[in-house]
Amino acid sequence: MQIHTTAYLDKREVSDALVIAYYKGQLVRPDLGHLETICQAPIHAGDFTGGLGELACVWGAEVEEKRIFLLGLGPEESCSPEKLRIAYGAVAKACFKYKCKSLNILLPELEYAPKAVVEGLLSAGYIFDLYKSEKEEPLEDITLIGKDALKAADRALRVMTSVNRARDLINGNADTVTPQFLAQYAKELSQEFPRITTEIKDKAWIQHENMGLLLAVAQGAKYDPQCIICSYKGRPVSDEHTVLVGKGITYDTGGLKLKSIEGMLSMRSDMSGAAVCLAVIEACAALSMPVNVTCVLPTCENAIGKDAYKLGDVYKSRAGITVEITNTDAEGRLILADALSYAVDAYNPTQLIDVGTLTGSMEIALGNSYMGLFSNSDFLAEALTSSGLHTHERLWRMPLCEEYREQLKSDVADCKNAATPKAGSIICALFLEQFVQNVPWAHIDMAPVAFAKDARGYLPKNGTAVGVRLLVDYLEKQQREQHDN
Ligand code: BES
Ligand code: ZN
Ligand code: ZN
C-alpha cells in the first residue's frame, strides 16, 4: 500500500476512483470546477443525501477517473474521527465491489482527517484470503488531496500496517501460528527494526525460572511453550519503562474441561493479546517513538490429551504461590501470572499493562463494544480510558472488589484458579493482582472484541487486533507528557 499526497485537486494523477465527501444537508462544494454538474446529479435526484457512510457512484465522460464516489459524512456538527473511520471504511468496501486499486481522495478540511481516513480505509480494506483459492484484489495506491496531510497519513499507515499484521497472526491456523511461529515472528521484528531486540526463552529457561503455571498449561501440548521477550528502547536516557504482557494461548481447547464446538471454533484467536503487544512494539519502532517498551509474551497451547494438566491438582507459580486447578479452561490467568511476576522482578517497570482474551463473562458484562479494564492505579486507568475514547477502542473500568477474593480460597493450596461463574472477569483480575506487587498495573480483558462474528463498520470479521491503536495512542501521549516536563 502506498500513500501519496497532493495539495490541489487539479494536480492529481488519474486513479480508479475519486472520492468526494459531503456533510448531510450541505450538498454543495464550491471547488469542484467542471465536476460540479455530474456530482450534483445524484443529489438532485434525491438518491444521495450525505448520511454517514452513504455512497453514490457517478460516471461521466468529463471525469478523468473511471468513477466518482460521493461519500456521506453525516451532519457537520457531529463529525468526528470515528465518523470518518466509518465513512471511509465504506469506501474501502466499495473498492472491493468496483475492483478499484487506486483512489484519489479529496480530504474534508479537518485537522484529524488524514489520520482517520487512512485508519478507516486500511482497517476495512483488510483482506485475509490465505486459505482461499480465489484471491481478493487489494487497494494499492491512495492519494490524499489536501494540505499538510503527509505526516499524519504516513504515521497512520505504519500503525495500520502493524494492526493488519496482528490480524494475520490471529486469523492464521493454530497449527501454523504456534508458540514457535510467534517466536520466529518476534525475531524477524528485531531484524526489521534495529531498535527492537528479541530474546526467545525456551522450555528449559521456563523450567529454570520455575514458571510452574505456564508449564502446567503447556504440558498437554504438542508444541513446547515459549516466553517471548521483545524490547524497544526509544528513549535510552529515561528510566521510564512500560512492560506489556500479552496472553499467547495459540489454541484453547479448554483442556480436560473441554470446550464445546461453538466455544472452540474461534479459539485460535486466544493469542490476540500477544499479537496486539507485538503490533504495538512494531508500531513504536516504525514511528521511532521516544518510549521504552518491553513485551513479555508467555505462549503455549491449552491442549487436551494424556499429558494435559489436571483438575484438582496443585501447581506452584514462579512467585511461590500454589494454585489448585479448579478449571483447566481458566488457563490465561495462569500463564499471565508467571509472566507478570517475571516482568516485575526482571524489569521493575514504571507501569505494567497486561492484555488478553481472558473471560467469556466480559462479553456478558459489556457486549462487544468495550473491553474491560482493571487497575490498581487511578492515574493509569484514567489515561488508558481517555485513549480508549480517542481511538474508539473503548475501555470500561471494572472493580477489583476485595470481598470476592474469598472465592479464590482453596483448602489444599494458596488459592484456586477459578470460582463460581458470577463476576468471572473480576475474579480473574483479582487472581492476577496477586502477582504484580505494588507496580502500577492495568489488566485489559479484550475477550469481547478480539474476534468478531461479523464485520462491523470499519472492523473486519474474525481477528480485529483491537487494542493496538489504543495502546499506541496511550504511549504517544506519554511521550508528549515527558517532553512537556
Ligand atoms: N479464552 C477463554 C476466554 C474467551 C471466551 C475468549 C470467549 C474469547 C471468547 C478463556 O481461557 C476461558 O475459557 N475462560 C473461562 C474462564 C472460566 C473457566 C472461569 C470462561 O470464560 O469460561
Ligand atoms: Zn480457556
Ligand atoms: Zn483462553
Q: What is the DSSP string of 190-223?
A: HHH-TTEEEEEE-HHHHHHTT-HHHHHHHTT-SS
Residues 97 and 234 placed together within one structural domain of the fold:
no
Give the range of the structural domain holding residue 397, as residue numbers without chain letter: 172-484
Tell me: the pLDDT tens digits for 319-332? 999 999 999 999 99
- Establish if 156 belongs to a structural domain: no
- Establish if 305 belongs to a structural domain: yes
Residues recorded for the chain: 485
Active site (annotated) includes residue 259: yes
Tell me: the pLDDT tens digits for 265-319? 999 999 999 999 999 999 999 999 999 999 999 999 999 999 999 999 999 999 9
Look at residue 484 in the predicted model and tell me its pLDDT: 60
End of a domain among 115, 148, 181? 148
Q: What is the CATH number of the domain that holds 80?
A: 3.40.220.10
- Establish if 355 belongs to a structural domain: yes
Closest by CA position to 478, among listed 296, 340, 293, 345: 293
- Establish if 162 belongs to a structural domain: no
- Establish if 165 belongs to a structural domain: no
Please, which residues have CB less than 5 A from ligand 3, an ion?
Answer: 249, 252, 270, 332
Tell me: the pLDDT tens digits for 143-157? 999 999 999 999 999
Residues 327 and 218 placed together within one structural domain of the fold:
yes
Mean of the pLDDT values across residues 227-247? 97
- Indicate if the pLDDT at residue 36 is higher than 90: no
Sheet arrangement for strand 415-416 = 314-316, 322-324, 415-416
Tell me: the pLDDT tens digits for 181-195? 999 999 999 999 999
Helices (H), 125-178: 150-171
Beta carbons of 211 and 316 less than 8 angstroms apart: no
Residues 15 and 95 placed together within one structural domain of the fold:
yes
Protein residue closest via CA to atom 5 of ligand 1:
360
The angle formed by the CA atoms of residues 278, 163 and 232, to the nearest 5 degrees, is 30
- Establish if 209 belongs to a structural domain: yes
Residues 119 and 178 placed together within one structural domain of the fold:
no
Residues 257 and 195 placed together within one structural domain of the fold:
yes
Residues 304 and 353 placed together within one structural domain of the fold:
yes
- Indicate if the pLDDT at residue 241 is higher than 70: yes
CA of 360 to the centre of ligand 1 (A): 5
Can you read off the three cell numbers belonging to residue 423?
463476576
Is beta strand 141-145 parallel, antiparallel or unpaired with respect to 102-106? parallel
What residue ranges line ligand 1, CB within 6 angstroms?
A: 252, 270, 327, 329-332, 357-361, 418, 424, 447
Beta bridge partners of 144: 5, 105
Look at residue 37 in the predicted model and tell me its pLDDT: 86
Residues 106 and 184 placed together within one structural domain of the fold:
no
Q: What is the CATH number of the domain that holds 406?
A: 3.40.630.10
Residues 116 and 72 placed together within one structural domain of the fold:
yes
- Establish if 143 belongs to a structural domain: yes
Q: Which atom of ligand 1 is nearest to the CA of 263?
A: 7
Grid cell 457486549 is found at: 367
How far, in Å, CA of 305 to CA of 75, rounded? 57
The band of 25, judged by pLDDT with boundaries at 50, 70 and 90, is: confident
Tell me: the pLDDT tens digits for 115-136? 999 999 999 999 999 999 999 9
Protein residue closest via CA to atom 13 of ligand 1:
329
Tell me: the pLDDT tens digits for 450-471? 999 999 999 999 999 999 999 9
Give the total number of structural domains in the chain. Answer: 2
- Establish if 92 belongs to a structural domain: yes
- Indicate if the pLDDT at residue 27 is higher than 90: no
Residues 459 and 427 placed together within one structural domain of the fold:
yes
